[in-house]
Amino acid sequence: MPPTPSSSTIAFVLRLLRTAVLRYRDRTLVALVLVVLAKLAVIAVPLALKAVVDAFGGARPALALPVFLLLAYATLRFLGTLFGEIRDLVFARVTQSIVSGFMLQVFEHLHRLSVRFHALRHTGGVTRDVERGTTGVGFLLGVGLFTILPTLVEIGGVVGIMSFNYSLWFTIIIFVTFAIYGSFTVAYTERRAIYQRQLNKLDSRANSHLVDSMLNYETVKYYTNEDFEQRRFSGILGRWVEIGVRNQRALFFLHVGQSGIIACGVAAVMLLAGHNVVQGSMTVGDLVLVNAYLIQVCLPLNSLGFVFRQARDAVVNAERMFRLLDERPEIADPATPADLRLERGEVRFEHVDFGYEPGRQILRDVSFSIAPGGTVAVVGGSGSGKSTLARLLFRFYDVSAGRISIDGQDLRDVPQRSLRAAIGIVPQDTILFNDTIAYNIAYGRPGASLDEVVEVARAAHVHDFITSLPEQYDTPVGERGVKLSGGEKQRIAIARAMLKNPPIMIFDEATSALDTRAERAIQDELDRLAQERTTLIIAHRLSTIVDADEILVLEHGRVVERGTHGALLRQAGVYAQMWQLQRQERELEQTEQSLAAPEQ
């Protein structure tokens, strides 16, 4: 059972404090000392002011005494500000380091989560959750920590001076005001938290829709649905505005209530002080001192109310980030993992069953093996489970039954990093980073030189295209590679896989985005890449797999035929029908090309 938001929050706050105190204990200790010194200087300011007023109010004030007190008064005010600024400077590295540390932790955690989690998530919503969460962390560390402690020091010092020097009634009035103020603030802030959560949810929805719509802008234009998208987005924003107004209304009542409580407390204290001055039990300097302390208490009291409200909002903002951190990866490494020992490179699927969801089984009792350095091809209709084999071999999911092994080692017994380092893939749908062509090719082996990138680009028959571009290898490819055609993206994916140079290769319909001429040009390079490697080919075009050691035909998740190309043709079954149909399609395409040639 996942932890509740409150338990996550408590654990998170304790982790913050532990991180700040233990990892940065020297800076934190210096900052806390500066906090105390700053507040002591601020508390001493009214005492100096009282002495100045009383000195000037005497029958024959000595000139040296008021001048000294005035200089002390100015110095104390300056020291209060100076110590506070030095504290902020000292603690800045702590705050920035911890905030960036949490952002890195969330980033790493998101990459550890399973493919299933990322298939269901909304990218825009997740980024907003992380952004709000890290902002909340920064507030809790900085303003929260260094407002609460100094405020408590200041209030404690003021109440102590008032209790020691003046009537007990002053202390009673202040404590009653504190109690009413605190109770009202806590109760009303909790009521506001409902609106804050709704605002966060709507904000994430709005950002998710914005990102999703921008990523699919071509689809929006294909169907001229700009107005439809605008209406959907406007509906979310309209609800966001309505909840924001309700939240502001609740904030209005909170602020007015807090100010009213403080005003009543100030009025009661000043009336009592004025009465005492008239009675002669207090001097005018005492009245000034009480007034100064009241202001000094009310300001931090307001600060406490603000900090509590903002801290509550920060916790609410960070709740979804807490839940992200509490999300456990579906695919986990074993407790005592041992790296994959790749000796021969034999891959075995043994009686494998798998389904993405309960009640929707994709693979049923699939068994086959790929000999070291051998090639097995898998064909079948859409939805037959071909690409699922690649996902299971990468261990993006665990099998429901059976096992998958490499050189006799169950994939569940080896670290995911070690497993995936040994496998390369040319996927059917190539997604590129919004960076340069060189960066995307070099992603196959970070740190590769430009010469190595050019070498694999030549092998993938994409070098000539790249050099024809104005910026050549420094050409940005755009979001998800939108500036390139499907064939160009797939050639880059092939070059990237060549650069990784793994002992096991997967071609997941690697030439599906290429025309027949381009496919023939690059097939030799794919064959060369597959040499002396254990290779799994998931194919749509049967012409690319005629030399495979074994061909599997999948239907509804079951292997219905297997054998070499020649043997399957002799069986005159499903594979033979597919071959005949594709041969007719090729002949028709060649006829159309020959008819179009004289016109060119």
Percent of the chain with pLDDT over 70: 73
Task: Measure the CA–CA gap between 73 and 67, rounded to whole angstroms.
Answer: 10
Q: 363 φ, ψ to 5°? A: -115, 140
Quote the pLDDT of residue 2. Answer: 41
Task: Measure the CA–CA gap between 477 and 454, rounded to whole angstroms.
Answer: 17
The band of 5, judged by pLDDT with boundaries at 50, 70 and 90, is very low
**Cβ–Cβ contacts within 10 Å for residue 28, how many?**
19
Of 114-118, 183-187, 394-398, the one with minimum mean pLDDT is 114-118
Quote the pLDDT of residue 4. Answer: 45
Averaged pLDDT, 358-383: 85
Task: Measure the CA–CA gap between 445 and 436, rounded to whole angstroms.
Answer: 15
User: Per-residue DSSP letters for 457-475?
Assistant: HHHTT-HHHHHTSTTGGG-
- CA nearest neighbour of 354 among 415, 403, 291, 313: 403
Averaged pLDDT, 391-419: 87
For 423-433, what is each residue's pLDDT tens digit? 888 887 777 88
- CA nearest neighbour of 69 among 89, 46, 94, 97: 46
Strands 534-538 and 375-380: parallel
Rg over alpha carbons for the chain, rounded to the nearest Å, is 36
Q: 550 φ, ψ to 5°? A: -150, 145
User: Per-residue DSSP letters for 177-206?
Assistant: HHHHHHHHHHHHHHHHHHHHHHHHHHHHHH
CB-based contact 505:497 (threshold 8 Å): yes
For 484-531, what is each residue's pLDDT tens digit? 877 788 888 888 888 888 888 888 876 665 666 666 666 777 777 777
Q: What is the average pLDDT score of the chain?
A: 76
CB-based contact 52:61 (threshold 8 Å): no
The band of 66, judged by pLDDT with boundaries at 50, 70 and 90, is low
CB-based contact 575:568 (threshold 8 Å): yes
Decide if pLDDT at 8 tops 50: no
Averaged pLDDT, 328-347: 81
Task: Measure the CA–CA gap between 412 and 334, rounded to whole angstroms.
Answer: 7
CB-based contact 146:327 (threshold 8 Å): no
Task: Measure the CA–CA gap between 541 and 390, rounded to whole angstroms.
Answer: 18
CB-based contact 350:367 (threshold 8 Å): yes
Quote the pLDDT of residue 168. Answer: 75
Quote the pLDDT of residue 163. Answer: 72
Quote the pLDDT of residue 306. Answer: 65
For 280-314, what is each residue's pLDDT tens digit? 777 776 777 677 667 666 666 666 666 666 666 67
Q: Which is it for the CA torsion 220, 224, 227, 231, positive or negative?
A: negative
Averaged pLDDT, 114-121: 66
Which domains occur in the chain, in start order?
5-326 (1.20.1560.10), 347-422+502-599 (3.40.50.300), 431-501 (3.40.50.300)
Tokens of 88: 């902020």
